Amino acid sequence: MIQFHKADIQKRPFQPTKAVNLKMKMIGLIGFLILAIVLVIGIFLDYFITDALETQLGEQALSVAESVALNPDIALAFETADPAAIIQPLVSPIQQSTNAEFIVIGNTDEIRYSHPNPEQIGKRMVGEDNERALLYGDSYVSKATGSLGNSLRAKVPVYSGNDIIGVVSVGFLANDIQTLIGGYNHELWLMLVIIGAAAIVMAIAIATYIKRKLHGLEPEEISRLLFQKETILQSTHEGIIAVDDTGRITLLNQMAQQLLFGNGQDVDKLIGRPIREVLPTSDLPDILKIRTSHFDQEEVYGSYAVYVNSGPIYYEDTLVGAVSTFRNKTEIDRLTKELSHVKQYANALRAQTHEFSNKLYTISGLVHLNKKQEVLDFIRLEHDIQQEWIQQVIDKVADPLISGILIGKLNQASEQQVQLVIDPDSRLKTTLSEPQSRALLTAIGNLIDNALDAVKDCAPDKKQIALYFTDVGDDILLEIDDSGPGIPNGQAPILFDKGFSSKPGRDRGYGLSTTRHLIALAGGELHTEESELGGACFVVSLPKKENNL
């Protein structure tokens, strides 16, 4: 099971210099965007409200002017000797009821017959904007500066029959209009400021939330972590494939692609697909259900035999997916073989070192006792024994590696006071291929070590191991007998299973399984028989190749 917590994430892989962090950037950018939007909306609404109010007041003034111009009493008053005496009383109540700043009526010579200021009656109208109404009979709204100041006013002609006899001017002062517009705009901008402030508060909340979800990492840090993760993932010598909690592939490195699919699959096309469609035999869906891990399961995908380790992935105690790793079994077996060879050579060297140390001590003692002749006799004896072993092995075995390990095992057996005898009829003159040499080296090393271990509790005169090998015929045969207790009943069928061992302790049970595997790779077999010495007998047979005959 893989468990992740927030604390497991490196929050500051590196510190950018003189950089604004992501939270402040987001607040600044979102705030700027909000302020820009508020400003644009405010300007637009300000213009819209101003234009709408001016249009509305203009239409209102035009409506009042038209209603005044259509009043028959106004037209009749133009025919009297003193039109102002009739028109002014008629207009004043209308002005007050409509809230107009002024209602001015003039004749075709623009002489006023009504005005909010009675002193202006009889004087000429100001503004020079009556021409369209008096000459062409148009009704319209204009802006001009009159006796009361700058104003928005409506102009409507007064008719007597088909003749234009005067003009009605109804207006609102610009200052009053701006005051009215300012009141509306004040409320508008106040509301926009409130909305902008609320939006900035939300921007801060969103930036804080996103920052928390990113575990406090900056974009540059996330980019760098992603690059590091991808580099590590793709450079890992093990295949890795991960799925989410729905069983869809979320991650697949190049080694997994090579081991599982070869190089013909596009990784991008596999991401997001259900694992059952891609790998029907994968145990990841089962991992998601039972939430337990599987270790060192041997599977075959394509042309590769692999060891599979699978386990669930948890984040903050919540199941978020599962992952499998794949190790090439061939590479592991090769490492096991190399380690086994190193161990065999080390044991052989250790045996020789210990044996010759004892002999050097013996020689040293004889020298101190001034037994020169005995020293010479002892050295000659040891030399003859070594030469006999070396000559015997060299004469019988053509492969130098096999010769070397045999001499080493002879010394190891001698150190442990075990009688290791090579059958006089043994011979191995065939040139061995690399798989054959590797298989025989492993077999000799492991099987003799097992035999030495088997006879260690025997009586001194019963510690015997017999070795026989031959390449006469179509096969290379190797037999190793010992005088130990033999194979216990019931253990023969599982003797070569990986991990099985009749000896106590951990990390045992790999020697015989590795030996049988290497022999099988070389096309041979490994089995047991009854030993003439009373213990176990292991028989190795390897076919010889045609070019070695």
* CATH code at position 436: 3.30.565.10
Domain that holds residue 161: 20-217
Give dist(CA 408, CA 452) in Å, integer.
13
C-alpha distances in Å from residue 279, one per residue of 68, 260, 267, 275, 301: 92, 8, 14, 6, 9
Decide which of 273 and 497 is more confident: 273
The reported pLDDT for the residue numbered 479 is: 92
Residues 456 and 428 in one domain: yes
The answer to whether the beta carbons of residues 111 and 119 sit under 8 Å apart is no
* CA-to-CA dists, residue 340 to 256, 285, 294, 441, 446, angstroms: 28, 37, 27, 9, 8
The pLDDT tens digits of the residues spanning 61-73 come to 888 888 888 888 8
pLDDT in tens, 433-456: 888 888 888 888 888 888 888 888
Considering its fold, how many domains does the chain have in total?
3
What's the angle, vertex CA 521, arms to CA 401 and CA 479, rounded to 5?
A: 55
Q: How long is the chain?
A: 549
Q: With the CA atoms of 351, 355, 357 and 362 taken in that order, what torsion angle do they form, in degrees rounded to the nearest 10?
A: 170
- Mean pLDDT value across residues 167-189: 73
Select from 174, 196, 217 the last residue of a domain: 217
List CB contacts of 469: < 8 A, sequence separation 6 or more.
Answer: 397, 423, 426, 427, 428, 476, 477, 478, 479
Is residue 29 in some structural domain?
yes
CB–CB of 158/166 below 8 Å?
A: yes
Q: What is the pLDDT of residues 96-109, one digit of tens each?
A: 887 777 888 888 88
> How does residue 308 score in pLDDT terms, banded at 50, 70 and 90?
confident
pLDDT tens-digit map of 471-481: 888 889 999 99
Q: Comparing C-alpha atoms, which of 180, 165, 217 is closest to residue 23?
A: 217
Query: How would residue 14 be classed by pLDDT, with cut points 50, 70 and 90?
Result: very low
282: confidence class by pLDDT, cuts 50, 70, 90: confident
Same domain, 201 and 71: yes
- For residues 63 and 542, give the distance between their C-alpha atoms in angstroms, rounded to a whole number: 119
- Ranked by mean pLDDT, which of 224-238, 404-418, 455-469 comes out on top? 455-469
- Tokens matching residue 211: 């920052």
Sheet with 475-482, side-by-side order of all strands: 419-422, 464-470, 475-482, 536-543, 525-530
**Of 163-172, 253-262, 311-320, 470-479, where does mean pLDDT reach its minimum?**
253-262
Question: Same domain, yes or no, for 208 and 275?
Answer: no
Rg (alpha carbons) of the chain, rounded to whole number? 55
Q: Please state the rounded mean pLDDT for residues 134-144.
A: 83
Q: What is the mean pLDDT of the chain?
A: 78
Q: Determine how many CB atoms are found less than 10 A away from the CB of residue 472.
A: 11
Answer yes or no: do 51 and 143 share one domain. yes
Average pLDDT, stretch 23-33?
A: 79
Alpha-carbon gap, residue 89 to 391, rounded angstroms:
152
**How high is the pLDDT of residue 547?**
41
Q: pLDDT grade, residue 206 (50/70/90)?
A: confident
Contact in structure between 511 and 446 (CB atoms under 8 Å): yes
Collect all residues with Cβ–Cβ distance below 8 Å to 201 and sequence separation of at least 6.
Answer: none
Show which of 217, 247, 267 is a domain's final residue: 217
> What local confidence, expressed as pLDDT, does residue 18 receive?
47
Q: Are 213 and 267 found together in one domain?
A: no
Contact between residue 141 and residue 62 where contact means Cβ atoms under 8 Å apart: yes
Q: Are residues 56 and 203 in the same domain?
A: yes
> Helices in 274-371 by DSSP H: which ranges?
275-278, 284-290, 329-368
Q: How far is Cα 545 from Cα 434, in angstroms, rounded to an integer?
A: 12
Contact criterion met (CB below 8 Å) for 380 and 363: no
Whether residues 193 and 313 fall in one domain: no
By CB atoms closer than 10 A (0-12, 13-18, 19+), residue 488 is exposed
H or E stretch at 17? none
Q: Within this chain, do residues 213 and 252 fall inside the same structural domain, yes or no? A: no
Asked if 199 and 247 sit in the same domain, the reply is no
CA–CA distances in Å: residue 284 to residues 18, 62, 281, 318, 329: 46, 82, 9, 17, 20
For residue 270, pLDDT beyond 70:
yes
